Structure formats: structure tokens, C-alpha cells
Structure 1
Amino acid sequence: MFYYLSKIVWFFATPSNLLPSIALLGIIIIAFTRFRKTGLTFASAGILLTFICGLLPVPNWVMLPLEQRFPTHQPTDASIDGIIVLGGSVAGDETMMRQQLNVNEAGERVIAMGDLARRYPNARIIFSGGGGNMVYKGVPEAKAVEAYSETLGIPASRIEFEGKSRTTRENAIYTREMVTPKQGERWLLVTSAWHMPRSVGCFRKAGFNVIAYPVDFRTRGPQDSRRLSAFVSGGLRRLDTGAKEWMGLIAYYFMGYTTELLPKP
């Protein structure tokens, strides 16, 4: 139930959906009611906020606390027992239909998997990613990666696939069941930097201590707190990502899926 409810709530709360909808509501009020002043207020606010959030550094203010929470992983001489890569970077349907690996904006997750597989040839590799679409049942992401892992230079036989999970919480639970980690083992967790706090929180809650390996940064660093966007669409896309993650953090905390509102190293 939580999965479906979260999808519905997010559809209406997405900034790039919400702000134009406010403007549209204002236009409807102007056109079909006598409350012209109210309609003008809504329409003006929707249009103005769309440009403010799309062009000003607002998306960066939302993203930076998430991306700065866990530092970039620095390689050491310590051995690595395993590598966990969370899904969300491969388009399963397009990959299978076009017969080549199709990645989205989070493609750095699988790029890192290929790199780490070469750097740690003896480490176990887990790819955790099922389906996350409530409209139709598509190809599980794990199946797509399994079919075209050679593109990344990794034989599919080297990777263990978890293809049931639909949420970050399920990523953690199902991966924990697969791995049954032993005391003292060192496991890297690969996911987007902005998604790392919630991911680490879920794995800790599942009893699986992991080492953060953040990738897919959407900001350059603190200096971007003053950086403007070149396109409204680019700023809104980044704001959508950050806002969704903050909503996820809050919801997971109050649902008891994590023990910290904003997990830290």
C-alpha cells in the first residue's frame, strides 16, 4: 500500500507538475468564474515560481545537503568483500527492445559497477533492482543488466542479481537476505550521491553496515549554491529529484524504515 500511495502522492507533489498546475488553475478560475483576482493570483504565482525554481539556485539548495552528506569514497589498501549496486540507472524495456544497454541520468551507477569489478576482481557483486512502475509491469532492471552486462566488461556469471525490489527499503531487505554478511566484512554500496543518505539508512535498519560509494552527482559542490540554471527544464528536473528524495527521507523515517531522518557517515 505504501508503495502505491507514495507514487500517487509524488505525481501531484512533483514541482514540475505542481507549479504549472497552479498556473493552469488560475487560468481556469479566470475563464470560468467571477473570481478574476483570485485567478490572477494563482496564475501569476504558478508562472513566477516556475521560473524562480527553474532558473535560480533553488534546486541546488535542495540537492547539496544530500550530496554533501557522504564524501566521495577514497580507495585504500583494505580489501573489499562485496559491491552492492542499486538499480535506477537502466531502462529495462528499452534495453530489451533495442537490444543494447540503455541508461538514464543515473548511468554512473552501472559505470561504477564495471570499474569496481575490475579493481576488486575477488569481490562479490550484487545488482539490486526490480520494477518501479505502477502503471504497467515492465522488464525488471536486473534482467536487463544481466542480458547486457558484457557491455560493462563484466560477465553475467560474475554478478548476483536481485530483481524483486521496487523500493530502497526492499533493496536493503532482499540484498541482506541474499548476502547474509559476516562480521568484519567490507561491502561498498553504490548509488547516486543524493540517494545515499536514505539508502544507507535502509541498509543499517536491515542490519547491514555498508561503506558509501556515492556517484551521479548533480552539483559540483558548495559553490553551486550561487549557480543559476541555463534552462528552466534543467532546474526543475534537478528540483524534482531533490524534492522527491527529501519526501522519501521524511516518509521512511516516520514509517520506521530508517532510524535517522538524515543518516550520516
Structure 2
Amino acid sequence: MDSLFFIFSKVLTIFLYPLPVFFLFCIYLLFRIKQGKTKFLFFLICLFLYLSSSSYVANALVTGLEKDYPPVSLEEVPKAEVAIVLGGMIQTISSVKARPELSDSADRITDAIRLYRAGKVKKILFTGGSGLLLSDEYREANLAKSLLIDLGVKESDIILENNSRNTYENAVETKKIIEEKNFQSYILVTSAFHMKRSVGCFRKQNLEVIPFPTDYRSFQMDSGAFELYLPSAGYLDTTTFAIKEWVGYWVYRAKSYL
């Protein structure tokens, strides 16, 4: 009986999710619309949204970004003087101001702490100001400091860069600190899907970083999971940031940032 309840709870909750319900309405409307041209255009719109929110499209886009940077174990990582952590995991517009609120990319900061605690790096350099267009009151690096300290990093081992607004500026501003501190070796910590563009930016600044990718977003498509066959807001989100990352990569190449 418990197994049956589990199955029904998974199947019936489909009708609580906005996207599956939306597509059910779309199917209904496709049968109701009589005009051929209108029906075809409506079908194309629905198909576009369906593909954008499918696991197959989302996974293909993000896998293309991650494939050149497979996971690296702590044991494999050579020692370096500093871990450069790219921002993008702390909510600067969270309604909660009493503590840093982490986003889906929290692995960036937690893996940097793992490197530090394993003795792979002596310092953590967090780079990231505000990437918001109209609000820069809260800088991500400033918010990260208290979190790093709470999780066991000595304040004297934390270096903050809070002026950069994007990946290119992360590299430019970080280079100034690297030269000032005379660091000779550095591990770059960021999401695997973001590593392709990040490594290019840092190496363009003549910083030969050691990549330590984290926060993998690709899926195991052969798992047979029922949820893989349903459109979801999660897959739509993956498609969205993967497209943004691909566009960012090619724009950066065009601007010679890479």
C-alpha cells in the first residue's frame, strides 16, 4: 500500500506544477482552435517552451559547457598559494540580511573551503561585487567574509575583491591583487558550466590558473527517472543559464576578453 501511495503521490503532483498544467491546457486549446495558421503558430510557441523546459535540451546545452572540465578530486589538485573563488552563489538582494543566503552555486564557496582545510591552498581570494544593473548596495565579497570565517577560515587568510561586476572584471581586478601580493600559483574555483569562459578570461590576463570545477548541472539521462520525461521549471532554468553562458562565451571571444 505504501508503494502504491508513493507512485500516486509522484504522478498526481504533476497536476500541481505550473508547466505540466500549462501544457495540458495547450493540448486542449490545440483541439479547440480551428484556424490552421493560428493553430500552427500556437503549436510552434508551445513546442518552443516545451523543448526549452525539457531535460534533453537542458542537458545537451549544459553538458557542452561542462565536458572539458571533468571533476577533480582533492588528492589530484596540486598545492597552490591561493584559491580564487568567483562570486555568484550569495543572494545580494535576499530579504534576509542577518546572514549570507546561498544559491544553487553554493559549491563554489564550500569547495574552496575544502581546498583550504585540506591544505591545498593557504589563502582564499573571493572575487565578486554586485552584478545587478540598478543596485550595488550589497557586495557579494563582503557578504562572503562572515560565512568563510564561520566555516573555519582565518580572517587573515581571506582576501576580498568587491569591485568586479562580471567574469571579465573578476579576472582584471584579481590580477591587480595577485601582482600586489606576489602570488605565484592559484586554483580557480567556479561552476563547471562557467569554467570555460572563466579560464579564458584569467589566462588572457596571463594568470595560469589551475581549474577546480564544481557545481555540475548535467543530468544522468540514462537513469530512467520518471521526472526526466516531464517539462519542468528546473530544466527551463538550466536551459536559460546555459544559453546565457554560451552567449557570454561567444561575446567575450568577440570582445577579445578570452
Question: Which bracket does the TM-score occupy, shorter chain normalised?
Answer: 0.7 to 0.9
Tell me the TM-score normalized by structure 2: 0.77
Q: Name which of structure 1's ranges 72-81 and 231-240 shifts more when overlaid on structure 2.
A: 72-81
Structure 2 residues not aligned, in runs of 5+: 1-21, 23-28, 30-34
1:114 equivalenced with 2:113 (yes/no)? yes
* 1:50 corresponds to: 49
* Counterparts of 1:76 and 1:217, CA distance in 2: 18
Asked if the contact 2:85/2:125 (under 8 Å) is kept, the reply is yes
Matched-pair identity in %: 28
* 2:62 corresponds to: 63
TM-align CA RMSD = 3.1
CA deviation vs aligned residue, 1:78-116 (integer Å, no higher than 9, x gap): 432211000000112438x43122100101011112211
**Letter matched to residue 196 of structure 2:** P
Report the Cα offset of residue 151 of structure 1.
3.0
Report the Cα offset of residue 43 of structure 1.
2.4
Q: 1:255 to 1:122 in 2, by over 3 A?
A: closer
Report the Cα offset of residue 147 of structure 1.
3.1
Report the Cα offset of residue 39 of structure 1.
4.2
* 2:94 corresponds to: 94
Q: 1:174 to 1:55 in 2, by over 3 A?
A: same
Tell me the TM-score normalized by structure 1: 0.75
CA deviation vs aligned residue, 1:151-185 (integer Å, no higher than 9, x gap): 32223332100000001000001101101299993
**Letter matched to residue 112 of structure 2:** M
Count of aligned pairs between the two proteins? 227
Q: 1:99 to 1:85 in 2, by over 3 A?
A: same
CA deviation vs aligned residue, 1:110-139 (integer Å, no higher than 9, x gap): 111221121127622100011000032340
Report the Cα offset of residue 47 of structure 1.
1.4
Counterparts of residues 107-186 of structure 1 (less than 5 Å): 107-120=106-119, 123-180=122-179, 185-186=184-185
* Counterparts of 2:233 and 2:78, CA distance in 1: 43
Rg (Cα) greater in structure: 2
